[in-house]
Amino acid sequence: MVFFFEGFRLDLDRRELSRGNSLVRVEPRVFDLLAHLVRHRDRVVSRDDLIAAVWDGRIVSESALATCINAARAAIGDNGDDQHLIKTLPRKGVRFVGKVQEAAVEKAGAANANSPPLALPDRPSIAVLPFQNMSSDPEQEYFADGMVEDIIAGLARIRWLFVIARNSSFVYKGRAVDLRQVGRELGVRYVLQGGVRKAGDRVRVSTQLIDAENGAHLWVDRFDRTLEDIFALQDEIAMNVVGAIEPTLRTAEIERVRRQRPHSLDAYDLVLRASPFAYSHIAEEASIAIPLLHKALELEPDYGAAHAPLALCHHARYSRGGLKPQDRDAAIHHARAAVAGGADDASALGIAGFVLSLDAHDHATALDLFDRALKLSSSNFFALSSSALVYSWLGDAMIAIERSQRAVRLSPFDPLNYLSMNAQAISYFHLAEFDQAHAAAVRSVELNPRFSVSRAFLAAVLARLGRETEAQAEAQRVLALDPTFSVSRFGVTVGLKEAVFSPLAEAWRAAGLPQ
């Protein structure tokens, strides 16, 4: 049942109070009190009746009841002086006096069980279902619902993702659902669901991402936190969920496109097909991705999500393919085009900042782009890892380490984490914390063993640790992967601070890499 009054919508089934398109967040007891008054607006509701309805008859003080009534008034724009909606009648009780319209709402899926499924959008699509309150405390309901709202808002900022609005996904609140049926009813490929459990001063949030077409689990995680500041906690968990989902969906979409027949491709699919080659930082693989990305731009010239990886591909060819000026110019051109076409795309802005810093040596613009990207999406993988690399080369080691650690935490199994590991290797080397630099370099090599730069960092750390034989062996692997590698050539493509580059250059020469 839904009630409408003074521009507000009170939905009893969803337990929602909204005004226009905005949800009004209220505590469960305040919602129950308001709902009871609206449902019984034809009479005065006594104090005992309210306590029975809201507190299940438990003994509460007059001040607790008055506080709850005042909170209900505040939620709907009323107050104790005007009382134009909720009126107190001395020694009698309280009555809702606003004009109310009542409407019945059909349950989702009930009337449309035999309807054909909605067509999937032309980009990846997701619905976030209401999280289950697994606590015995009904007060946690608002925490779970608020967190889902924040997750939906965060996902909606990912430009390439189609996100079902809250009011549609919350139709399933409190219902046992078949996720494949949800996918058909909402027309989405992926469904995120979860649960919240509170015990003492701790809260545990569990989440899982499901492929709605086949029911397969793509990603599962759990977050345990102390319940100190509930809204800050809610924001933190929402940020972590959004950040972890983005790389998972990116990987799932790439695999999906690989299985498709390669005809009638649109720009988005072409970008996905290029992705495995565009982000390896290997010049030969960049040459595979470049024609696919150019074809995407023929279909959609201002597509920031195509310009950004194309900039990265030309950067790879410039830095590890002969220092050809045309590649450097193309990298800078497509980086600036990514900014123009992807002003609201955090990934595009992050990649563009990386290229503009390393190839154009325009560090000020790069740092501004990173700030813009992280304001759009504070948990964006590319914005975090790209900015971590740039900050590491600029000598801001602590910022680089913090951002790279966030990127790895948000997507612990992402093969692109070699970028964050390299940022850590550079930063820990700069701080003379060579054991940690070694661990990061080893992990980077494990993630991308064919990337000569990862092996070069490992050779430098081994040399600094006095492991000369191992350092020389690693240097030979660098040259086997990139016969043109030299200390001076590497410096040209980065344009770094001398205090960061000189110790690395000295270690490379000690390992046997050419000047």
Give percent above pLDDT 70 in the chain.
91
Quickly state the pLDDT bin for 112 (edges 50, 70, 90): very low
Across 405-418, average pLDDT: 79
Largest Cα separation within the chain, whole Å, is 93
Q: Is the pLDDT of residue 264 over 70?
A: no
First to last CA, the chain: 76
Instruction: Check if the beta carbon of residue 374 is closer than 8 Å to that of residue 384.
Output: yes
**How far is it, in rounded angstroms, from Cα 509 to Cα 505?**
6
- The Cα 295–Cα 289 span in angstroms is 10
Write the DSSP assignment of 380-429 as a string of letters.
-HHHHHHHHHHHHHTT-HHHHHHHHHHHHHHSTT-GGGHHHHHHHHHHHH
> Does residue 426 have a pLDDT over 50?
yes
**Rounded distance, CA 170 to CA 89, Å?**
37
Which residues are 96's β-sheet partners? 86
The yes-or-no verdict on residue 175 having pLDDT over 80 is no
> Quick one: pLDDT at residue 402?
94
pLDDT of residue 326 exceeding 70: yes
Over residues 13-39, the pLDDT tens digits come to 777 888 765 677 778 888 889 999 999
CA distance 400 to 388: 4
Handedness of CA 252, 258, 261, 265 (dihedral sign): positive
CATH fit for domain 271-511, picks 1.50.10.10, 1.25.40.10, 3.40.50.1980, 3.60.20.10:
1.25.40.10
> Across the strands, what pairs with 22?
19
The verdict on domain 2-103 having CATH code 3.30.428.10 is: no
Determine the pLDDT at residue 353: 94
The answer to whether domain 125-259 has CATH 3.40.50.10610 is: yes
**111 vs 202, residue with greater confidence:** 202
Across 476-499, average pLDDT? 85
Average confidence score pLDDT of the chain: 84
In this predicted structure, the answer to whether residue 300 has a pLDDT above a threshold of 80 is yes
Give residue limits of the domains in the chain. 2-103, 125-259, 271-511
Q: Average pLDDT, stretch 461-488?
A: 92
Instruction: Answer whether 352's CB lies under 8 Å from 311's CB.
Output: yes
- The predicted pLDDT at position 96 comes to 94
pLDDT at position 181 over 80: yes
**Quick one: pLDDT band at residue 109, thresholds 50, 70, 90?**
very low
For strands 202-211 and 217-226, give the pairing.
Answer: antiparallel
- What lies within 8 Å, CB to CB, of 396 at 6+ separation is none
Q: What angle do CA 257, 262, 266 make, to 5 degrees?
A: 70
pLDDT of residue 104: 62
DSSP 139: G
The mean pLDDT value for 256-285 works out to 76
The owner of tokens 């290797």 is 425
Categorise residue 257: left if φ over 0, alpha if ψ from -120 to 50, beta otherwise. alpha
481: left (phi over 0), alpha (psi -120 to 50) or beta: alpha
Q: Strand 132-133 and strand 93-96: pairing?
A: unpaired
pLDDT at 111: 37
